[in-house]
Structure 1
Amino acid sequence: MKKHVNTPNGKPLIPTIKWGQALCLGAFALVMSGCSMTPPKTFTFQADVPENFTVTGTGNYIPAPGETCTGRSGKPFRVGRLHFKPDQPKTAHQVEFQVPLTDNEHGCSSVLHSLKLTIEGRWGPGREHTSQESANFSISDETSQQASTPQVFEGQCQWLFRTMGPYRYIVKIPMCRALNANGDMEKRMIGGRLHRDQLADSTVKLVLSVAKEEEPAVGDNWVKFPTGWKRCMGKGLDDRYGFCRGNTTDFKPFKMPDGRDCTVYPKCTE
């Protein structure tokens, strides 16, 4: 697993490092001579993902109490970042990476403040046919009242489709939301609060699914028929907004990501 550390201005604080590589930074371990450091405590983040989806992470670290951290400019910084991307999926539908609870860069100690997940889904044949959504976890210093058990979060992504450009190509955007106890999508984003006192050597898991039905990304652009969705004509073929505005009889063709000319989505032809 490779990690990169960035400041808010996007510049890397240190070169790419490999997990487990010895770093002579002189924090968390003091010895009589030489250079040694005890690896920081970590927790495992694990995600069960649908086909054509993956998850990566960004850990946001802030200086520990009483610490001052400086970047390349020599000025103090408030947030440092480590990026987590698995070298390869654990299985065809599962990704996993280790998240340190502390970090040592530039002679200062920092602690994990939050974890942001990037959920990426591919909806077409090309590399450009990918879209992203995010999920966020905050780290609480409050003592947890619950027993230390694997924490599992459930979420679902729904593809929202629209047309774009003069040729009206279909593009899709994932809308990912938390699931409630009944398995229904909520309005809130995926994520929650993690208690620091429970995280060391534990596992945090996200179980992600995809809704069976896709929906239009823009309201009043499409009309649903038994054969699928048809794109409203609007003011004409060149009207990129193409609102229906009560006209549910005139429709215009569009193109699928693979270049096919279609009249109904997602079956393409009636």
Structure 2
Amino acid sequence: MNSTKKSCTGAFVCPALLALALNACNTVGSLGAEPFRLEGQLPADFALKAQAHYGAAGNCDGRSQTKTFETNFKSAPHEYNFRIPVNYRDGMCEMQLARVGLFISARYGDKDWQRTYDNGGLTIVDQLPEGAPVFQADGTLSKTAECLWLFQISKAKSREGEISKLLSCKGAGAHLIGTTLPGKRVRLSFQVRAEEEPYRDNTWVRFPEGWKPCLPKEGWQQCQDPPVFKTYRNETQECTVYPNCTE
């Protein structure tokens, strides 16, 4: 019986050619070959989460995606180090980094409500804004964000009259050019100002021994003029001045 040979043309595809084609699809553009590093130092009782957002390039119908990187609270200053892909392939779609959202968490006590956060972010651009920091010759961009605790007297029923705090971090981000980002290192560190400030102006009056809370004007949040002072609670202790409680 004579065997029939089928040509690798028309409706038939040679296995070797098929494997070569699939391999080419997986490697085109070397997608995801080199991430960038986001690293830095966090103060004690701080944690950081970075959420990288990706969009499909060109006319691909792929949906936007996210990848999350995070480090937990520690009781001492500590380093974080994230390797974030600049791009990668999802099926037949090229996913490109669009931005990185930063969630800066901090705690000032052991209770759940004594945790708060502020936001920052890395923005991917085609051209840097005027005055934006740039990468040095070694491929590193370094920045320090300054965080500040803002205190107030809580109005929540479960802790009414106690001090609660909000976190405010300035400089917690950067503008980055996506095409030059692979292999680079962004070093974003955080530090906390030693002195705290009131959350709202003219609700506390500063004295050498600390801040004293005052009663508001009728229908207002600002202090009466002249100020009339009140107390706040530190758990079971009644206090007149912050942060030392007593004068």
What is the TM-score when the length of structure 1 is the normalising length?
Answer: 0.69
Partner Cα separation in structure 1 for residue 178 and residue 236 of structure 2:
50
Partner of 2:224: 245
2:23 is aligned with what amino acid? Answer: V
Residue 100 of structure 1: aligned partner: 85
Structure 1 runs (4+) deviating above 3 angstroms are 37-40, 86-89, 103-107, 141-148
Q: Distance in 2 between matches of 1:204 and 1:116?
A: 14
Counterpart of 1:266?
243
Match of 2:40 in 1: 47
For residue 66 of structure 1, what is the aligned residue in structure 2?
59
- For the aligned residue pairs, the C-alpha RMSD in angstroms reads 3.0
Matched to 1:158, the amino acid is L
Tell which structure's C-alpha radius of gyration is larger.
2
Write the letter of the residue equivalent to 1:150. Answer: T
SS at match of 1:85: strand
Match of 1:168 in 2: 161
Counterpart CA distance in 1 for 2:73 and 2:114 is: 21
The match for 2:95 is 110
Match of 2:22?
30
Distance in structure 1 (CA, Å) of the matches to 2:197 and 2:244: 14
Counterpart mapping for 1:140-219 below 5 A: 140-142=125-127, 147=137, 149-165=139-155, 167-178=160-171, 190-219=172-201
Task: Provide the C-alpha distance between the structure 1 equivalents of 2:139 and 2:242, rounded to a whole number of angstroms.
Answer: 44
Cα offset, 1:137, TM superposition: 1.2
Conserved? CA contact 1:54–1:95, under 8 Å: no
Q: Distance in 1 between matches of 2:198 and 2:151?
A: 5
Note the C-alpha offset of 1:231.
0.8
Q: CA contact under 8 A between 1:232 and 1:247: conserved in structure 2?
A: no
Between the two proteins, what is the percent identity of the paired residues?
27
Q: Aligned partners of 2:238 and 2:92: how far apart in 1?
A: 59
Distance 1:97 1:198 in 2: 18
Q: 3-state SS of the aligned residue for 1:30?
A: helix
Change in 2 beyond 3 A, CA 1:88/1:220: closer
| Letter of the structure 1 residue corresponding to residue 239 of structure 2 | C
TM-score (norm 2): 0.75
Look up the equivalent residue of 1:120 and give its one-letter code: S
User: Secondary structure of 1:128's partner?
Assistant: helix
